[in-house]
Structure 1
Amino acid sequence: MSWTAADLPSFAGRTVIVTGANSGLGLITAREMARVGAKTILAVRNTAKGDEAAASITGDVEVRKLDLQDLASVRAFADGVDRVDVLVNNAGIMAVPYALTVDGFESQIGTNHLGHFALTNLLLPKITERVVTVSSVMHLIGRINLKDLNWKARPYLAWPAYGQSKLANLLFTKELQRRLAAAGSPVKALAAHPGYSATNLQGQTGNPIGTPVWLAANRLFATPPEFGARQTLYAVSQDLPGDTFVGPRFGSRGPTGATAFRSPLARNAKTAAALWELSEQLTDTKFGL
């Protein structure tokens, strides 16, 4: 039988942080974690929407403000956390028009990678079990441009920028796991991707032509968000080696498993180390152990 959220073990006595937990995959991830007993912190940019989400969840839930596009907000959030067992780096934006974060990063790499990079490093001394970062099959179109990570010297392209950010998630996971192992830490770094799940990401591209196309495709082809969140929940709860990439067996559908395909670029240890060093410089955060 295929693994589902119904197979989750008890998380009683443990604390889980889920970024972007007010809707979509994050909301379902948070809901299921709370259902099995975890104290679940919904880390959200819009706390009003977070409160609405929390009201729909049964269990021990708390809403806290976190804006991944503002490193000051990331630092403030991390300062307010005493201890966490599992950090789920779930929040993200997809194929949006060019914009800059508060700190001057291109918004997709800033939100999807650099914000989570800083958050993880700041929380790392307080994390006891694992860090799960949500990537995407679209990492396959990604290329890491270490000389122009923020698209300042080349024409901006929304989808390649998204692909770069999702490739960065996998390289971040790889290098984080290497550093954790070298430090003798029991904490594990894992990644997951949802396949092609219908979430509000597809309706917020800011593209008047692309958005209706995505919404139509959602109706025809996408799996429900419960299926997408299942991949994250598997990565959160199962006994897996570090740097595992969880996803549906057949890319967008099929049983959940620990053998999701990652591109050769996502396996490049040299690029992973170089991206880590650049990310440390850009965010002014370092490996926390």
Structure 2
Amino acid sequence: MLSGSLPISLTTLQALRVLALSNNNLAGEVPDLSNLTNLQVLDLEDNSFGLHFPTLPTKLVSLVLRNNRFRFSIPAELGSYYQLQKLDISLNAFVGPFLPSLLSLPSITYLDISGNKFTGMLFQNMTCNSELVFVNLTSNLLTGELPTCLHWDTKSRVVLYARNCLSNEAQDQHHSNFCYTEALAVKVPHEQKNKKPYAKAVLASSTAGGIMGGIAIVGVVFLAVRKVHGKATFKAPSTGSITERVSPINTAKLLSDASKILF
């Protein structure tokens, strides 16, 4: 019944080899564990961790993130965890391309990515580790054909791949249009996330430009009025200075106020 987030102090336990916290009520982002160079087993199953895939040491032997709240994509570096034997990232909300290199990791024997929204095309000629005994690709958005290497030694290997859009009909598959439509939909959060800083900068630039443009217009009007007023002084005495009737404009204050609104 542990709750809350993981303490940063975990990142200093460099002799730690096993961290098993499954079936609790823990939440929040997983702290950077890359300095735990001796960590071999990480089990965070059945919590509420997320949203980003954690930063981990590369010598992990077993990694279980099943049934959490992770989303976005998995890092390409995961395909170079050469000592990884078990990888279970099922029942999350991962999107983005599936890494085919996970099938051929030199030590992998158990791979479960089911219950996510991984995209990408599989090919018959992909390579797999001959020691794989369990592969679960169920309920994703994968297209193409199941690799031939996953058909080998079917008596000693469990391979599940239903509810994708693969051409293999041995297990129920969605229509290809379904995977195409869903794949387009799951790309939206990433595009918005990547464009947000750019959009914010454009908004700030546009607002600042609008303020400066307004100041320039006021300045032109001021000069025009002053010019007319200057000509009028030859005909009649002035009753007051034009500068006394124009409110002073503090450019720095306007920009500061705009920044406060935006940021």
TMscore range, shorter length: under 0.3
Higher relative contact order (CA closer than 8 Å, sequence separation 6+): 1
Give the number of the structure whose alpha-carbon radius of gyration is greater.
2
When the two structures are superposed, what TM-score results if normalisation uses the length of structure 2? 0.27
